[in-house]
Structure 1
Amino acid sequence: MPTVGEIVTYLDQLAARHLAEDWDNTGLLLGDRNRPALKVMTCLTATQAVVEEACDEQVNLLISHHPLPFRPLKIITAESHSSKKVWQLASQGVSLYSPHTRWDSASGGINQQWAEGLDLWNIEPLLPTEEPDPAGGTGRQGTFAQPLSLLEVCHKVKSFLDFVGLFTPLRVVGENEKLIERVGIGCGGADSFLGDAIKAKCDLFITGEARFHNCLEAEEREIGFILTGHYASERFAYDRLAKQLSEKFADCEVWSSRREGNPWNLYSG
């Protein structure tokens, strides 16, 4: 049976530490490397429902894309909303690991999976890392084998999300007939990289969510913009990571959280 530390070492190999953004909080954030890891669970976010699932199922290691905690905590008590989940996990002996921006940028990470899922060619980072890792870096960019209309790209994005079990509507900036050849990708809330996609001469940028004024900028700069929703843009990668870990560590029971869900509901009136 592997230890928490052995699984952490493997995760650090998948998503190297130097790939983390300066502001991020990644790695083993809670727990004991020497503890055995019989049960491992993955999730996008350690919500209250996910934390309760981890405790109920006596999970030894919880792998959450989004860090917990993200910002420093002054107190850790069961009564404090900001620290309650940390207290629950710690009191039940659940370790927590977060790869966050490291997994966004890794050579086999979320943005790379998106680029491959859309059948892009000549895939490379939108912003290469300064470290000697040519395959790693922020975002991804690539080209279609032949230009597609924005509407056709929307169909490809929807097909990919449907394939990974995330049936979600898209928000789109741009005319349906706009021809798309070069595509930039940034999972999550990566609308701040819109300018980098424009500099890279991308015809389209795909991300999870964006601020209103960045959508206006995309419209004015005549670059297509597809918003999948933050949850949909990243959650599938943790189903895949759970499968990868279960194959690597056969003695572990590994699964993706069964209680996690998208907080958004659609209401059309």
Structure 2
Amino acid sequence: MTVTVADLIDIMDQIAPPDLAEEWDNAGLQIGRKDWPVKRVWVSLDPIPLVVSAACDAGIDLLITHHPLIFKAPKSIDFATPLGRIIQQSACCRLSIYSAHTNLDAAADGINDILADQLKMTDTIPLVEGSAGTGTGIGRVGTLARPTTLGALAREIKETIKVPALKYTGSKDLPVRRAAVCSGSGSSLMGAFFASGADVYVSGDLKYHDARDVEAAGLGLIDVGHFASEHLIVDILVERLTAEAKKRSMPLSIEACPLETDPFVSI
């Protein structure tokens, strides 16, 4: 059977329904054609030039990413710019790029649920309920499997998600039982965290004044970084896509892009 980009989009739409995406987001097909045939698929966090160039060299037909290639409609496509070069190269190599962004954040068993699972959280609910309801929404809040301290939790997270370093705010001896998480950039959900009754907030891209506010409230904050809080979806998405393709008898090779690293280097 001939598998097309549309067939993979159908699977992704089940994993991360498009109607869960935020209004400002641009999830979906970024470049390519739905009727193009697909034999090889890569999954990555970002459609950066390194990844796109390597995908073209490797003969990849479809690149599925978390972050969209295009957030706002460009006024021109200049092939001398990074975006223009990606579009030019993808078109010439017949590489389609599809992104599942905030819909994958919000979905049941999406990135936020996976991050909560990494912390062994139970009885989780969305930190901010989505319009679709039914347990979907941005972030998660729930109860840790066992009470611990902020310092011990920070060390456990560092080992579990394998980051070289992380930052935390609050007393290392602060008792923590309930936690809130938000994958990616969580600064905009600080108000939801304070209202949630959680003892600690785990996210990325947190700001100086976020830390000061948490400090003043006698709570805890753990910043694991944007990349680390989201890249954990890549291997899991490969597993889910592979299982679904097998169920549908689709002859596909689906792999995680082996090239991505955190753009921030810890020294």
TM-score (norm 1): 0.93
Cα shift readout 1:80-129 (whole Å, capped 9, x = no counterpart): 23422122112211111111111111101111011112111111111111
Q: 1 CA distance for matches of 2:83 and 2:209?
A: 30
Q: 1 CA distance for matches of 2:183 and 2:217?
A: 21
Deviation at 1:75, TM superposition (A): 1.7
1:220 maps to which of 195, 206, 216? 216
Q: 1 CA distance for matches of 2:98 and 2:220?
A: 35
Question: Which residues of 2 match residues 250-269 of structure 1 at below 5 A?
Answer: 250=246, 251-267=251-267
Instruction: Report if the CA contact (8 A) 2:11-2:244 is conserved.
Output: no
Q: 2 CA distance for matches of 1:243 and 1:136?
A: 22
1:230 maps to which of 226, 250, 257? 226
Q: 1 CA distance for matches of 2:120 and 2:145?
A: 8
The aligned residue for residue 72 of structure 2 is 71
1:204 maps to which of 187, 200, 205? 200
- Give the stretch that moved more between structures: 143-152 or 46-55: 143-152
Deviation at 1:138, TM superposition (A): 0.9
SS class of match (2:185) = coil
Instruction: Report if the CA contact (8 A) 2:141-2:181 is conserved.
Output: yes
SS class of match (1:25) = coil
Q: Kindly tell me the number of residue pairs found equivalent between the two proteins.
A: 262
The aligned residue for residue 126 of structure 1 is 127
Partner amino acid, structure 2, of 1:256: A
Deviation at 1:218, TM superposition (A): 1.5
Aligned-pair identity in percent equals: 30
Deviation at 1:168, TM superposition (A): 2.4
The aligned residue for residue 147 of structure 1 is 147
Instruction: Report if the CA contact (8 A) 2:121-2:145 is conserved.
Output: yes
Instruction: Report if the CA contact (8 A) 1:3-1:33 is conserved.
Output: yes
- Correspondence 1:184 to 2:180: yes
- Correspondence 1:29 to 2:33: no
Partner amino acid, structure 2, of 1:102: N
Partner amino acid, structure 2, of 1:159: E
Partner amino acid, structure 2, of 1:205: Y
Q: 2 CA distance for matches of 1:261 and 1:150?
A: 27
Q: 2 CA distance for matches of 1:204 and 1:83?
A: 42
> Over aligned residue pairs, what C-alpha RMSD do you find?
1.4
Deviation at 1:22, TM superposition (A): 1.2
Q: 1 CA distance for matches of 2:46 and 2:67?
A: 5
Deviation at 1:37, TM superposition (A): 1.1
TM-score (norm 2): 0.94
Which segments of 5 or more consecutive residues in structure 1 lack a partner in the other structure?
none
SS class of match (1:125) = strand
